[in-house]
Structure formats: C-alpha cells, structure tokens
Structure 1
Amino acid sequence: MKKLVLIAIFCSLGVSEMNAQVTFKPGIRGGLNLTSITQSRGDFKPTFYVGALGEIKLTRRYGLQPEIIYSSQGSNNIITENYDYNTGVNFRSKKDVEINYISLSMLNKFYIVNGFHAVVGPTLDFMVSDNLVAHDSDVDLGIGFGLGYTLPSGLTFEARFKKGVVYVLESEYYQSGSDFFFGDYNTNILFQFGVSYAFNLKSKKE
C-alpha cells in the first residue's frame, strides 16, 4: 500500500512539473533557400521561405514546433534539348525550374545548452505553382533537421537541411520528349539559412 502511495505521489509530482513547464509561443520565420532537384543536372537555386511557427515547450529540454511555411524551390540552369524544325538541328539551352510549396511541419525541438537547439521532423508540402509542363506529384513528403541559436532577445538564427522522398517530376515525359535532361530520381533537396522570432505572450506582471 505504501508503495502505491509513493508511486502516486511521484507521478503527480511529475505531471505537475511538466504542466508547470509547458509554454506556447507563436512566432515567425524566414530567410534564404538554396534548392535543387536530384538528378536534374542543374545548379542550386537561391530563393526564399517565409511563414509562421508555434513553439510548444513541454519540458526544459524538449518541445514541439509546428510550422506553416511558403517555400519557393526548384533548380537553375537545367540543360534542355530542343529541335529547330527550320534547320533540322537539335540544340541545347538552359532553363530555370520553379516550384512553390505550402509546407507543413511538426518538428521535435531539443534544447541543448546556452541558447542552442536542434530540430528534426517530417514535412508535408503542397505544390501551389510551378513552371513545369508535367509533374509527378502535387504533394511532397520530406524530412528536415537543423541547428539554431537563440539570443536573449528571442531572435533565433538557424540553418536547416530538408530532403524530399516523393518524385516531383514526370521523368518519363521529359525523357521521351526533346526537353529536360532528367534522371529517374527527381526529389527536392534544400538548405535553409534564416532567422525566426517567437513572441512571449506573458505579461510583465507574470
């Protein structure tokens, strides 16, 4: 009986401690995207991302961070082959590919030490616009991870990497026609460098 009482007290203390530590802060984030498409033979495309986040701190060392982000992606200088019907000659040129997404993420956030943190988690991206003739999927599923440092003011500097797992392009279409020189494995890949800020909703009295 005494053991059960002690266990109950321990559990109640643990729950109360967790409840005392749980906080929520809404925020914003944005910055530079460096994006490409695997096996596209193109260059990384410098573009941008911007959106909102929610920082849910569950314990001193762990939290969740849902995000909704507008992310401009793609790849630059992809080689294309075209046919000139007047001369009967194939010629090559380069073209920039642009694909824009609304990205939903649920990141695990680990508070390390002295303002440093790490994030990792899945992303679900919905294509909202592109300049492709044919694409394989309107939805991309990926995994992202990164590191960040938060100043006492609340401003955070962060760097992330994200890799998609869904084929973005209809490679059979482009391989059968006289257009982009794509391989079979066409997934999104991007690096992000930017800033974020989480607002403290607590009043000064608190």
Structure 2
Amino acid sequence: MQKLKLLILLLFSGCLYAQVGPGIKLGLNSSSISKTALEHKKGLYVGAFIKIPIADYYTLQPEILYSNQGGESNSLDYGDVNINYLTIGIPNKFYVTPPNGFHFIVGLSLDINLKNNFINFTNFNIDEEISPVDVAIMGGIGYEFPFGLALEARYKQGTISVDFLGSDDLYEEPGSNLNGVFQIGAAYKFKL
C-alpha cells in the first residue's frame, strides 16, 4: 500500500512539474495617488514569474516585478513623485477554457519602496516620509495563447497610505493617499 501511495505521489508530482514553467513579463503602468493634486504618471513594469497549475481551471502564478509608479505634477511648488517598487505578487488565474485562453486574475501583492525622488523645492528632503511598503489588491483579465504568450490588463489598488507628511500643498482633500495602478502588458512562459 505504501509503494502504491508513493507511486501515485511521484506520478502526480511529475505531471505537475511538467506543467510548471518560468516566464518573464513586461508592460506599462498608468499610476496615480488618490486625494492629491498629482496627475496620472506613465511608467513600466518588468519581472519574472512561475506558473503553477493547480487544477484545470486554476493556476497560481507567483511573480517578482520592478514597478515604476507615482504621479506627475503641473505645479511650480513641487515636482513629480517617482516611486520605484519591488513587487512580490501572488496572482491567481481562473481560466474560462483551460489550459490556455481567456482568464480572470485576482490576487495580492507586497510592494516594497526601493527608491523615490520626492523632494520639496525648499531643499527639505522627505524621502523617509513616503511609506516603505504597500499592500495591493489586484484584479484583471487576460488571454493566453498555446505557445506561451499572454496579454493581460490589471488594476492594482494600494491599501497603505503613501503619506506626504510635511507637504500640505499636495493634498486635495483629507484622508489616505493610496496608489492606484492600471497595468497592461505581455508575459511569456518558457517551455521546459
């Protein structure tokens, strides 16, 4: 009985391993920060992922991305906000017609603030005032072709305020200043 269980486990692991595959992603961001005078900022995201099929209609896809976010300013009193994040995401993909094709994306990400350039023109550097991390909720749609290419559109909503402490002229209304990012891009899963 133990040998049979071991054989089934090995067969299942082999089938799962055969479908697991690494890949790369590249795309464009349109980001904003809520309740501020900042306009939408264009940026990019780039990174890698591992596709792990769990069931016919469901795939887990852990990913690590570089994401350029922030907001653009039209004011002479302050400059653009440019925040570079390391994003560790856990998107879940639900396929309409497996194993490829149209799919829905839902998941979470931890965004780590690697660097930002928010400096008040009075030469008072307030880098430490921009939050070091963000936790974002994501959702989107995509289409995956049988040869490994996928096209996706997502929206990420931050849940932790960016907080521009010491710069009251950025605020349009009181409350949390949350990241919002629309992403559109392509991904390619390598065949092993």
- TM-score by shorter chain over 0.5: yes
Contact 2:88/2:111 (<8 A) preserved: yes
2:86 & 2:39 partners in 1: Cα distance? 23
Contact 1:21/1:57 (<8 A) preserved: no
Unpaired runs of 5+ residues, structure 1, are: 1-10, 80-91, 202-206
Larger radius of gyration: 1
1:182 & 1:21 partners in 2: Cα distance? 54
The residue number in structure 2 matching 1:83 is none
The CA deviation at 1:180 is: 2.7
The residue number in structure 2 matching 1:185 is 176
Q: Please give the per-residue CA displacement for 1:78-128, whole angstroms capped at 9, x wherever unaligned.
A: 54xxxxxxxxxxxx5463110010000111111112611111111001101
1:17 & 1:44 partners in 2: Cα distance? 50
Taking structure 2 as the reference length, the TM-score comes to 0.82
* One-letter amino acid of the counterpart of residue 118, structure 1: F
2:68 & 2:115 partners in 1: Cα distance? 9
Instruction: Tell whether 2:26 aligns with 1:42.
Output: no
Identity rate of aligned residues, in percent? 39
Q: How much is the aligned-residue C-alpha RMSD, in angstroms?
A: 2.6
* One-letter amino acid of the counterpart of residue 117, structure 2: N
* CA spacing shift, 1:93–1:170, aligned 2, 3 Å: closer
Given candidates 49, 68, 72, the residue that maps to 2:68 is 72
Instruction: Tell whether 2:110 aligns with 1:119.
Output: no
Q: Please give the per-residue CA displacement for 1:63-89, whole angstroms capped at 9, x wherever unaligned.
A: 21000000000011254xxxxxxxxxx
The CA deviation at 1:181 is: 3.5
Contact 1:58/1:64 (<8 A) preserved: yes
Contact 2:38/2:170 (<8 A) preserved: no
* One-letter amino acid of the counterpart of residue 112, structure 2: F
Unpaired runs of 5+ residues, structure 2, are: 119-124
2:96 & 2:179 partners in 1: Cα distance? 29
The CA deviation at 1:145 is: 1.1
Structure 2 residue matching 1:50: 3-state secondary structure:
strand
**Paired residue total:** 177
Structure 1 residue matching 2:167: 3-state secondary structure:
helix
* CA spacing shift, 1:55–1:161, aligned 2, 3 Å: same
The CA deviation at 1:136 is: 4.1
1:153 & 1:67 partners in 2: Cα distance? 20
The residue number in structure 2 matching 1:55 is 51
Instruction: Tell whether 2:93 aligns with 1:109.
Output: yes
* CA spacing shift, 1:78–1:38, aligned 2, 3 Å: farther
* CA spacing shift, 1:24–1:164, aligned 2, 3 Å: same
2:89 & 2:139 partners in 1: Cα distance? 11
Structure 2 residue matching 1:77: 3-state secondary structure:
coil
